[in-house]
Structure 1
Amino acid sequence: MPPLPLIEPHTALFLDFDGTLADLAPRPDLVQVEPELVGTLRALHTCLDGALAIVSGRPVAELDHFLYPLRLPAAGIHGAELRHDGERIVVPPAPGIGPLLPRLEALVRRHPGLQLEYKSVAVAIHYRQVPELEPLVRAAVADVLRDAVGLEGLPGKMVIEIKPAGVDKGGAIAAFMRVPPFAGRMPLFAGDDVTDEAGFVVVRELGGVGLLVGQRATAASLSVAGPAALRSWLHRSAHALTLRLASRDAAPDATRGQPLITPTLREDSL
């Protein structure tokens, strides 16, 4: 793939969380956030005039916890939750998963290596600690969904999620791109999982860029080796954008508002 350019001021930036901003952990609650990351995301949010959103399978409340004190625009549970303005979380009506839980909980009790993750309108079964149980988990999810209406299974990295049908990260990104401050910008979405492919497709359709964190077949047009490389790119981009913004603000009044003439910045080392 071609070298990865640093983020430009006209970008609408969308970032997955697990496996992208943060390294994967044996359990979702054990994820650690690099100390510098919060400051970098704050700087990018400022330099992009607010056009930065986290697009994740986690609930928005969990994203706020890990990125405290930031309250960024966010799509949680693959877009079932949306927050545009930093305050109100919009959760559309969704089918209840309550009737499915007893059978899933019984499965987890029989196989202690499995973990059930409860979300507001979804539930996920993680098998990272027992990967050999993938066929069993897939069969169990298919079985509980056989008579369910309005729900679907979404496989990911060592996890299968049961969520509202028709909700995905592509739809969440498209919704953001219809409103300020995202509208009219070039979308860039970074993600690592197969659950991010819908987002890669949408940003491509909108003339933007998909950035895969990792290596596999993908609809993304660029890639980096892993979360550490992605974070390095974000740090460098935030630094370059901050310098550009400071240079603009320090320019004489006669030149303010004029585009800066700067060389194209590229991150060739990633």
Structure 2
Amino acid sequence: MDDCLFLDFDGTLIDIAATPDAVIIPAGLPALLQTAHDLLGGALAIVSGRPLEQIDQLLAPFAGPAGGQHGLEWRRAAELPVESPEPDRAALATITGRMQQLAGLHPGLRVENKPHGAALHTRGAPGADPAAAEVAEALARKFAGSFELQAGKCVYELRQSGGDKGSTVRHMMAEPLFAGRRPVFIGDDLTDEAGFEAVLPFGGSGVIVGERRPTRATTSFPTPKELHRWLTDFISQVQPRPGDQQP
């Protein structure tokens, strides 16, 4: 059975930065992903909490199957449009407004606006973490049923209900590019546990990047750089050599 790959972005393919817009894309990463994508017949998907528009900008010119905003956006193949539900704009305005109020009281606390959610990043203001958690939990209670709280590494995100990274896996595994393959989900954060869980019914496995913790992943890479090395080795093993070509 052939494999297919689901790859988280921040903390997995790239190192986490102080802010989401300060990340550095390693030289050669887009080309590495394109080569692996092509060798897998297109069965490689990026799965992220970021909007897909950001992922496409950061990984250009690579653009393949992908899931963004924790499963609220998805693209089934490179040439197809992004699909997503209509966002709850009124609720989002209230959520972002309350988050901005808190950020105004704590220098370094950052609000990230997304089409289907908003996030409080505390990496630049660790002392504000308890206040950020309190506000995020209060907003989750206020909008229970339509928005969910997703905590991660130095972040509290309110996202519209209806998706997670596991839902991206299930969407993709129903597509001809992925169907019948053995999925491998690679991620680093709590949000990736839904992906680790989702691949199990398909005979797949999870790989965690970074420090191990209680997780459904069964193997690990210490850093994104080690994942890049593994992808490079994978390509060298799968890619046909000139001597393998039939006359």
Q: Is TM-score (shorter-chain normalized) higher than 0.5?
A: yes
The structure having more radius of gyration, on CA atoms, is 1
| Alignment partners' CA distance in 2, 1:247 and 1:109 | 63
AA paired with 1:88? P
Q: Which amino acid aligns with 1:193?
A: D
- TM-score w.r.t. length of structure 1: 0.86
1:226 equivalent in structure 2: 223
Give the distance between the partners of 1:69 and 1:61, measured in 2 at CA.
12
1:110 aligns with 2:108: no
Q: Tell me the amino acid that sits aligned with residue 39 of structure 2.
A: C
In the TM superposition, residue 93 of structure 1 has moved relative to its aligned partner by 2.9
Partner of 1:92: 85
For residue 175 of structure 1, what is the aligned residue in structure 2? 171
Aligned residues: 242
Partner secondary structure for residue 179 of structure 2: coil
Correspondence 1:201 to 2:193: no
Does 1:83 find its partner at 2:75? yes
| TM-score (normalizing by structure 2) | 0.93
For residues 45 and 35 of structure 2, what CA distance do their matches in structure 1 show?
Answer: 13
Q: How far does residue 95 in structure 1 lie from its aligned partner after superposition? A: 2.8
Q: Residue 125 of structure 2 corresponds to which residue in structure 1?
A: 130
Tell me if structure 2 keeps the 8 A contact 1:43–1:242: no
User: Residues of 2 paired with 1:59 and 1:178: CA distance?
Assistant: 22
Q: What is the rounded CA distance, in whole Å, between the counterparts of 2:33 and 2:243 in structure 1?
A: 20
Structure 1 residue 85, shift from structure 2 partner: 2.5
Does residue 241 (structure 1) correspond to residue 234 (structure 2)? The answer is no
Shift of 1:247: 5.6
Aligned residue runs from structure 1 range 32-71, under 5 A: 32-71=24-63
What are the ranges of 5 or more consecutive residues in structure 1 without an aligned counterpart? 1-8, 253-270
Q: Contact (CA 8 Å) 1:95, 1:151: kept in 2 or not?
A: no
**1:243 to partner: Cα distance:** 3.4
Runs (5+) with no aligned partner, structure 2: none
Kindly state the Cα deviation for residue 205 of structure 1 after the two structures are TM-superposed.
2.2
What is the CA RMSD across the aligned residues, in angstroms?
1.5
Give identity over the alignment, percent. Answer: 39
CA displacement, residues 134-177 of structure 1 (integer Å, 9 cap, x when unaligned): 22111011112222141011001110111012410011111100
Does the CA-based 8 Å contact 1:154-1:161 persist in structure 2? yes
Contact 1:57 1:77 in 2 (8 A): yes
* 1:64 aligned partner, one-letter code: D
Verify the 8 A CA contact 2:72 2:162 in the aligned structure 1: no
1: CA distance, partners of 2:225 / 2:42: 24
